[in-house]
Amino acid sequence: MAAEVIRVLVVDDHPVVRQGLRTFLDLWDDLEVVGEAADGAGCLAAADRLRPDVILLDLRMPGTDGVHALHGLRAAGNPARVLVITSFAEPSVIVPAVRAGAAGYVYKDVDPAALAAAVRSVHAGHVLLHPSVARLLAEGEARPGAAALTAREREVLTEVARGNSNREIAKTLLLSEKTVKAHMTAILGKLGLHDRTQAALYAVRTGLVSPAGW
């Protein structure tokens, strides 16, 4: 028994998904699931306690999300390699995660063999990137993404993505409508979008607002 066992921590808010991932990984003798967590905070605690080699991390979770967890891992100097599990094809979701230290990502429709290969690959020190994501990283972001937004802009965008008008947002955030419009102009400029509808859709696609949010 000379084969090294890769210790894996599974982080996803859905128990079904965690179980599916665990079962997939249990198919291989060289992979061992040493723990699970349901959000970013649980991830940090479990990573500290269990010292996994690889963390499978969903980005979009309630409470502390995946990107924040990545920052936390980095700040704690945790050496675990992080493989992001995502439903989202949008590079601008993934680029911030990669910038925050993720070693790669796989989509949720991954099959067991591909998942195992990805885990082994990041454990071996590789970085797994789709060409479109690699290009974005190389060029800097062609479309900066939500990371370029200020906190206030993000608040306004969140309200837009809840279907509210500028007037309603002004009331909610205790601003003048002029201010909301100014933020909106900034948001559209930064994201390279044409109107609020595109902005709302973008917010949903990138996980800023959940589709079931209202």
Applying CB under 7 A, which residues contact DNA? 150-153, 165-167, 173, 175-176, 178-179, 181-185, 188-189, 194-197, 199
Residue 188 found at the interface with a copy of itself (CB under 8 A): no
State the binding partner of 167 from DNA, a copy of itself, none, CB within 5 to 8 A by kind: DNA
Told to check if 132 binds a copy of itself by CB under 8 A, we report no
Label residue 32 exposed, middle or buried (CB < 10 Å: 0-12, 13-18, 19+): middle
H-run or E-run covering 100: none
From the list 71-79, 139-147, 148-156, 191-199, the region that binds a copy of itself by CB under 8 A is 191-199
Give CA angle at 37 (20, 210), nearest 5°.
80
Q: Which does 112 bind (CB under 5 to 8 A by kind): DNA, a copy of itself, none?
A: a copy of itself
Q: Bridge-partner residues for 128, per DSSP?
A: 104
Residues 6+ apart with CB under 8 A from 96: 67, 145, 146, 147
Residues that bind a copy of itself (CB under 8 A): 13-24, 87-90, 108-112, 160-163, 165, 193-198, 200-201, 204-205, 211-212, 214
